[in-house]
């Protein structure tokens, strides 16, 4: 019975992240077709692997702790809303230059409009805020772990973007 619950929880969490990803892709109407150089795609591979590992940790935490309290559900919902808003704002501002990988397009200007007028890296802020998914389930330890590794992931990618003059 516990194993079945564990599998269901992992699938639910993966489905939520898949849904958020589909929502983001909906805003990618005009993908840039100009030549580009992939600066980094290895970090994205590690990001996916660590997220799956973290989702398994969440399931273990949920099976051992039980149902979440209402304050975790509320906080999780608020964080998901904020995180998704930041990510969609970043995608809309970058328009055809947005990509899951760190890439440099030949005709890419540094974007300083939209949400980028106020934040240098709104997509990463949104990604970090999406730990609200874990809080929905009351998985505070996993949310803490995810926050740490997402901050490390964002720091690494921001340093790459600055090194290759992709941001201000």
pLDDT tens digits, one per residue of 117-145: 888 888 889 888 888 888 888 888 888 98
What's the whole-number average pLDDT of the chain?
Answer: 79
Whether pLDDT at 109 is above 70: yes
Whether pLDDT at 25 is above 80: no
Rounded to 5°, angle at Cα 92 from 151 and 17: 50
Confidence at residue 30, expressed as pLDDT on a 0 to 100 scale: 54
Q: Is 105 helix (H, G, I), strand (E, B) or coil?
A: strand
Rounded to 5°, angle at Cα 140 from 136 and 145: 115
Q: What is the DSSP string of 40-87?
A: E-HHHHHHHHHHHHHHHHHHHHHHHH-SPPHHHHHHHHHHHHHHHHHH
Least confident range from 11-20, 95-104, 118-127: namely: 11-20
Determine the average pLDDT of the residues in 1-14.
67
pLDDT band at 33 (very low <50, low <70, confident <90, very high): low
Confidence at residue 151, expressed as pLDDT on a 0 to 100 scale: 92
Confidence at residue 148, expressed as pLDDT on a 0 to 100 scale: 92
SS3 sequence, 61-72?
Answer: HHHHHCCCCHHH
pLDDT tens digits, one per residue of 42-89: 777 777 778 778 878 888 887 787 777 888 888 988 998 898 889 888
Reported as half-sphere exposure (CB side, CA atoms, 13 A), residue 147 has a value of 14
Least Cα distance to 160 among 133, 130, 132, 121 occurs for: 121
Whether pLDDT at 19 is above 80: no
């Amino acid at each position: 019975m516990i194993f079945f619950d564990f599998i269901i929880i992992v699938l639910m969490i993966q489905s939520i992240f898949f849904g958020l990803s589909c929502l983001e892709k909906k805003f990618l109407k005009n993908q840039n077709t100009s030549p580009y150089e992939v600066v980094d795609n290895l970090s994205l591979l590690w990001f996916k692997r660590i997220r799956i590992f973290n989702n398994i940790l969440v399931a273990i935490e949920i099976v051992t702790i039980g149902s979440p309290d209402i304050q975790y559900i509320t906080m999780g919902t608020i964080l998901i809303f904020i995180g998704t808003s930041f990510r969609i704002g970043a995608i809309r501002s970058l328009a055809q230059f947005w990509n899951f990988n760190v890439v440099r397009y030949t005709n890419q200007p540094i974007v300083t409009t939209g949400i980028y007028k106020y934040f240098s890296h709104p997509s990463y802020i949104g990604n970090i805020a999406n730990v609200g998914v874990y809080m929905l389930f009351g998985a505070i330890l996993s949310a803490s772990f995810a926050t740490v590794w997402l901050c490390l992931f964002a720091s690494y990618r921001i340093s790459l973007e600055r090194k290759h003059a992709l941001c201000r």
